[in-house]
Amino acid sequence: MNITTVVRVALLAASCAAAAAQASDHGDHAARCKNAVMTETAEFQDIPMAGFSQNGHHHHNLLWTIHWDGQTATGSCKFHDGHFKGVEIHTHLKHSHHHKKSEHYKGEYGGFYYDRHVAKWRDPDGHVCHTCTPENGFPTRGY
C-alpha cells in the first residue's frame, strides 16, 4: 500500500465514524425530544405516544407534530452543542380538519393503530404489537 491509499482509507474511516456518531446523536435527540414533548409537557401528557410525529429538523432543532382526536399541535425541540435545551410549542392544541388515519382506530381498538409504513399494528406507545392479529379482532391490514 502506498501512502496515498493509506491516507484515503484513514479519511474514509474517520468520515464513517463521524457519520455513525451523528446518526447515534440523531436517534438520541429524537428519543429525548419525544419524551420531553409527550411526558414532560403538561399540555400533552394525556395524549398517547401514537399521536407524536417527528417531521424534520431545522438547523439543530427537531420539528414535531401531534395529531390526535381531531386536535393538532406543532413545535420543536431545541438542541445546542448536542445538549437538549427545551421544548418550544409553535401551535398549541387546537381543532384540526386533518386527521391521522390511526385516529380512526382510537375508540375501536383502544389506542392501537395500524402503521402503514411497516405494515404492522402498534400499541398506544408506538411499539409493534405482535398479538394484534385477525384472531384477536384486528383487521389484517388496518382498514
* Residue 66, H or E segment: strand 61-68
78-89, pLDDT tens digit by residue? 999 889 999 999
34-77, pLDDT tens digit by residue? 999 999 999 998 888 878 888 888 888 999 988 887 788 999 99
Looking at every residue in the chain, the average pLDDT score rounds to 77
d(CA 43, CA 65): 13
Report residue 18's pLDDT band, with 50, 70 and 90 as the boundaries. Answer: very low
pLDDT value, residue 56:
81
Could you tell me which of 142, 114, 138 has the C-alpha nearest to residue 128?
114
Task: Please say if the pLDDT value at position 112 is more than 60.
Answer: yes
Task: Please say if the pLDDT value at position 15 is more than 80.
Answer: no
For the chain, give every domain's residue range.
3-99, 101-143
16 vs 135, more confident: 135
d(CA 51, CA 46): 10
